Amino acid sequence: MESRNQTLISEFLLLGLPIESKQQNLFYVLFLLMYLTTFLGNLVIIILIFLDSHLHTPMYLFLSNLSFSDLCFSSVTIPKLLQNMQSQDSSIPYAGCLAQMYFFLLFADLESFLLVAMAYDRYVAICFPLHYTTIMSPQLCLSLVALSWGLTMFISLLHTLLMARLSFCMGNVIPHFFCDMSALLRLACSDIQINEMVIFILGGLVIIVPFLLIFTSYVRIVSSILKVPSARGIRKAFSTCGSHLSVVSLFYGTIIGLYLCPSADNSTVKEIVMAVMYTMVTPMLNPFIYSLRNRDMKGALGRVFSKRIIHFALGQ
Ligand SMILES: *[C@@H]1O[C@H](CO)[C@@H](O)[C@H](O)[C@H]1NC(C)=O
């Protein structure tokens, strides 16, 4: 494509959400409350798991990592959105935009890989309960977490570098509330074939492969329960896998809704609504899914707090 007026873009404008200005304040308060809930909810989980030694098991260490990832993921987009809604100045510098894209991909992919590690942990717990502690050794857990970080850092760096080589000449207005990769690609006037190919291949690696691995581990879990069906076994499986399965359904439900549902005529609005769903709602719900229905977490909350209160009361 000819690019005559190839000017270097120094900043982008984020159009934000398609909200009428009358309702701007209402949504501002709503998003602020959701962000604070996400931040505090996930922070409480990380602190509880750190402080309570009963929770130093692979499942809770992975959960703590997941909460960290959720906390960072929502902090990549929401504070900037809130700032833009408040200040009416919606610009973001070019480097800031690429940084936002990098961290957005980093924590989204990290969540996907951590869900696989957690599914594997549940699979071992149900199918090999007697060898659980030897299989899920601290070394293996650490390796799984390190592998997740390594892969996700490589993938998001690759996407970001490929984006950085593009020149943008279709204006600098992004019809979204953060620097979304596909919204940015629509503004590019260079050849984006490589970008699209990498998105296609790595997208498969990050979405389809984890999905298949999680699916396989649940097929194994269900078949091992059905081999010796007992009310106790089923209850145990539900109580240990229920939370993970809920989080997985929420994660993939949003992705499926985004990519597989027939696109309405107003696809930008649909994309933005789905983006609100996965940047705000999913990270907010994860801590509640894990803590509300979980006896260990409630016990830890009691232990950690009563210990602190006693220390405080004795003046230690
Ligand atoms: C993440 O998981 C690893 C391995 O289990 C653990 O050592 C580490 O403390 C966890 N990190 C956080 C922030 O929870």
Of 92, 69, 94, 93, the C-alpha closest to 81 is 92
Alpha carbon nearest to ligand 1 atom 3, residue: 142
> Residues 80, 267, 83, CA angle at the centre, nearest 5°?
10
Q: Is the pLDDT at 116 greater than 80, yes or no?
A: yes
Domain ranges of the chain: 11-315
Is the CB of 145 inside a 6 Å radius of any atom of ligand 1? Answer: yes
- Say what the pTM is: 0.89
Q: Of the given ranges (182-191, 206-215, 241-250, 262-271), which has the lowest mean pLDDT?
A: 262-271
How far apart are the C-alpha atoms of 286 and 266, rounded to whole Å? 30
> Could you identify the residue written with the tokens 């922070």?
43
Is the CB of 64 inside a 6 Å radius of any atom of ligand 1? Answer: yes
Q: Is the pLDDT at 147 greater than 90, yes or no?
A: yes
Alpha carbon nearest to ligand 1 atom 6, residue: 61
**Top-confidence residue, 10 or 61:** 61
Alpha carbon nearest to ligand 1 atom 7, residue: 142
pLDDT at 242 (0 to 100): 85
- State the chain's mean pLDDT as an integer: 87
CATH placement of domain 11-315: 1.20.1070.10
C-beta of residue 67 within 8 angstroms of C-beta of residue 45: yes
Element (H, E) at 248: helix 231-259
How far apart are the C-alpha atoms of 52 and 68, rounded to whole Å? 17
Q: What are phi and psi of 220, to 5 degrees?
A: -65, -45
Alpha carbon nearest to ligand 1 atom 8, residue: 61
Q: Which residues touch 135 (CB under 8 Å, ≥6 apart)?
A: 124, 128
Is the CB of 65 inside a 6 Å radius of any atom of ligand 1? Answer: yes
Q: Is the pLDDT at 82 greater than 60, yes or no?
A: yes
Alpha carbon nearest to ligand 1 atom 9, residue: 61
C-beta of residue 279 within 8 angstroms of C-beta of residue 73: yes
Alpha carbon nearest to ligand 1 atom 1, residue: 65
Of 139, 135, 108, 138, the C-alpha closest to 120 is 135
Residue to mutate (ligand 1; options 64, 116, 137, 286; most atoms within 8 A of CB): 64
User: For residue 303, what pLDDT band results from cuts at 50, 70 and 90?
Assistant: confident
Is the CB of 141 inside a 6 Å radius of any atom of ligand 1? Answer: yes
> Which residues face 173 on adjacent strands?
13
SS3 173: strand
